[in-house]
Structure 1
Amino acid sequence: MQYSLAPVSFTNEKGCTVDTSLWLDPYTGNFYILASDLDVEYIAHFPGRTSTVVPTGL
């Protein structure tokens, strides 16, 4: 949720599963709205840089 470019909506009131928001893939420049279109393996922290979300299966 920290890396979304728009407010996040959830699949239910408990807020356990993200449904939609807006994310930018920094490698391709593609935008994604559905969380189900993404498969995030991990978030990498590189010294001197901001955190990077490392997508898989795109």
Structure 2
Amino acid sequence: MSSLAHAVVHWKFLLIVTLIAVVGVFIGASISRKIDGKKLKPAFGWFVLIMGIYIIVKKSG
């Protein structure tokens, strides 16, 4: 049986991901103040759709 007590944590990688996420939060908050929510939702939807297609194409090829 596996236990989290024996898990290896890659602290440097975790710190980098955390810093990128925090920067992303500030950038997103800044963008959301400048762009109307009615325009932001469809733009995000298109982004998710395009990323999904990209991932499917990348995995199938």
Largest Rg, 1 or 2: 2
TM-score, normalized by the shorter chain, greater than 0.5: no
**Alignment TM class, shorter chain as reference:** under 0.3
Q: Which has the higher strand share?
A: 1
Question: Of the two structures, which has the highest relative contact order with CA contacts closer than 8 Å and spacing of 6 or more?
Answer: 1
**TM-score scaled by structure 2?**
0.19
Q: Which has the higher helix share?
A: 2
